[in-house]
Amino acid sequence: MPTAPARVLVADDEDDIRALVVLAVRRAGCTVAAEVADGTQALAAARTDPPDLAVLDVSMPGATGLEVCAALRGDAATAGIPVLLLSAGASPDDVARGLAAGADAHLAKPFSVAGLVTRVRELTAGVSA
């Protein structure tokens, strides 16, 4: 029996970027569990209805992607949600900060939709049919 498509939380304060992420999530064969514009909303959405993957912008109002990631990791109910961080900062230090916060992957902006589709598929491989 096939499983349901993976559900992805998308959080980015830029409308255009959020729309591109949603497009990539759908092209990856997943569904969008929630689409939010700030970190506070992202954390609330993840706690209310835990997704199979969270795609978080590092720089958001309310709470940064790093803060949301750390909060998810610190809560037993959400600790297992894979996190993909999107960041304009792509230096080794930026990547290290994301990984230290508990992120599973880091993708630099600007990103290609095809590249994001690949990462979403990798991070949801055990979930979607």
Cα-based angle 113, 125, 92 (whole degrees, multiple of 5) = 55
Residue 128 pLDDT > 50: no
Write the burial class of residue 5 (CB in 10 Å: 0-12 exposed, 13-18 middle, 19+ buried): middle
pLDDT 10s digits, 1-27: 567 899 999 999 999 999 999 999 999
Residue 61 has, within 13 A of its CA and on its CB side, a CA count of 4
DSSP state of 62: S
**CB atoms closer than 10 angstroms to residue 16:** 8
Q: What does the pLDDT read at residue 2?
A: 60
Look at residue 94 in the predicted model and tell me its pLDDT: 87
CATH H-level, domain 7-123: superfamily: Response regulator (3.40.50.2300)
Q: Rounded to whole angstroms, how far apart are CA atoms 18 and 77? A: 25
68-121 pLDDT, tens per residue?
A: 999 999 999 999 999 999 998 878 898 899 999 999 999 999 999 999 999 999
* Element counts in the chain: helices (H) and strands (E): 5, 5
| The pLDDT value given to residue 88 | 87
